[in-house]
Amino acid sequence: MENLSDKSSQKYSVGIAVDTGLGNFILKYPLLKLLQNDKNIAKIYLISTNINLINQIINYFNLSGLIYINLISINDSNIKYLLLPFDCMPHNYLIASYRAKINTRIKHQSFPENNIVSKLRHIRQTSFYPNTTYVPLLASRHETDLNLDLGEALLKKSIVRDNTVKLHVNTDKSVLEKFGIPYPFVVYQMGGANGTYSAKIWHPENAKQIIDGINNELHLPVVLLGDSGDKKQLVPYLDNLPKKCINLINKTTLAEAIQIINASSLVIAHDSGLMHIADALSKPLIALYGPTDIARTRPLKQSSQIVVSQNEYTQIMYNFNCTEADLEKENTNFKIMSGLNIETVWRAVQEAINKNLL
């Protein structure tokens, strides 16, 4: 294995696998900023099979010198070190990296339990991939720090950690005019996970009650945001919405959704890409949590607060113990988030509005 401490001052190129979701990609910002500020790194390649997602969000990072390519193009790059975060598809990238003759891979790895069988299994798995540095996937660690762990392993030195995630948005008032959105207003995300899974979703009928209260007691309109997958997921619940509810689910581009979030007075969202956008924009945010590992994905800004569903599923995904796909089989009638009561959410909404608008 190459000694990472021998890189000297010669400039080199780094690749990062970013085949991931919107929220996970946004949380790569601190790592990208760290690498951009290192004088020895000549180029940073973002590698993904979903170039469209990167194209839509990368300009908001306000970072220069990022090059995005698809996995096929990795053979034509001059990448010397390849970073493999836990949320990419490591097997595909590992194989491609050897074909492209990339010197060294730096990969997140869950280390074995303290028994001989687990340790032997770990040795067998890791021995297949020479010239690979394994970085521990630590529990109770925020995703931004997990990503920075890869950067620290690459640079082979202690780093000053800046976990700040920031999106830079130039205000475009024409978006609000296009959709007839009056100011001030609240953004609500009823769906999540692009409609694929529902384990992190609070029952939409509960959401409608909160929206009705915002409309009639706080006298504020509510804008619903989401994509085509969210629309399919929520079809049975989108009829008979409160009158001051503007349903823009599957009606905006991502750029328009970002403009709407940026102009809002409050965002209510599940653990999702839209939640991380609101947090990165430092908008007042109420994040609805349930099974997710809060330590790993929580919003970090002081403008954000977390409201947690309290039942047997609370943080059941801690330290990668299970996935949304695993939980989907048990989520009859949205029971996984059923420990979140309407009164708790409503109280958080009232406090947020009183603090930020009154």
Which among 121, 155, 189 is the end of a domain?
A: 155
Q: Which domain holds residue 224?
A: 174-356
Which among 155, 186, 218 is the end of a domain?
A: 155
- Based on the fold, state whether residues 107 and 243 are members of the same structural domain: no
> What pLDDT, in 10s, does the model give residues 199-230?
999 999 999 999 999 999 999 999 999 999 99
> What pLDDT, in 10s, does the model give residues 122-132?
677 667 788 99
* Domain membership flag for residue 315: yes
- Based on the fold, state whether residues 136 and 226 are members of the same structural domain: no
Which among 124, 155, 186 is the end of a domain?
A: 155
- Based on the fold, state whether residues 125 and 181 are members of the same structural domain: no
> What pLDDT, in 10s, does the model give residues 36-86?
999 999 999 999 988 888 888 998 999 988 999 988 889 888 999 999 999
- Based on the fold, state whether residues 189 and 332 are members of the same structural domain: yes
What is the amino acid identity at position 167?
Answer: L
pLDDT band at 267 (very low <50, low <70, confident <90, very high): very high
- Based on the fold, state whether residues 117 and 213 are members of the same structural domain: no
- Based on the fold, state whether residues 104 and 233 are members of the same structural domain: no
CATH code of the domain containing 270? 3.40.50.2000
- Based on the fold, state whether residues 124 and 258 are members of the same structural domain: no
Number of domains in the chain: 2
CATH code of the domain containing 31? 3.40.50.720
Long-range contacts of 305-313 (CB under 8 A, 24+ apart): 305/348, 305/352, 307/340, 307/344, 307/345, 307/348, 308/340, 309/202, 309/336, 309/337, 309/338, 309/339, 309/340, 310/339, 310/340, 311/336, 311/338, 311/339, 313/337, 313/339
Residue 248 pLDDT exceeds 50: yes
Residues in the chain: 358
- Based on the fold, state whether residues 146 and 203 are members of the same structural domain: no
Angle between helices 342-356 and 204-216 (to 10 degrees): 40
- Based on the fold, state whether residues 190 and 321 are members of the same structural domain: yes
Token pair of 83 as six digits: 């970073």
* Domain membership flag for residue 160: no
158 vs 155: CA distance, rounded Å: 8
- Based on the fold, state whether residues 199 and 343 are members of the same structural domain: yes
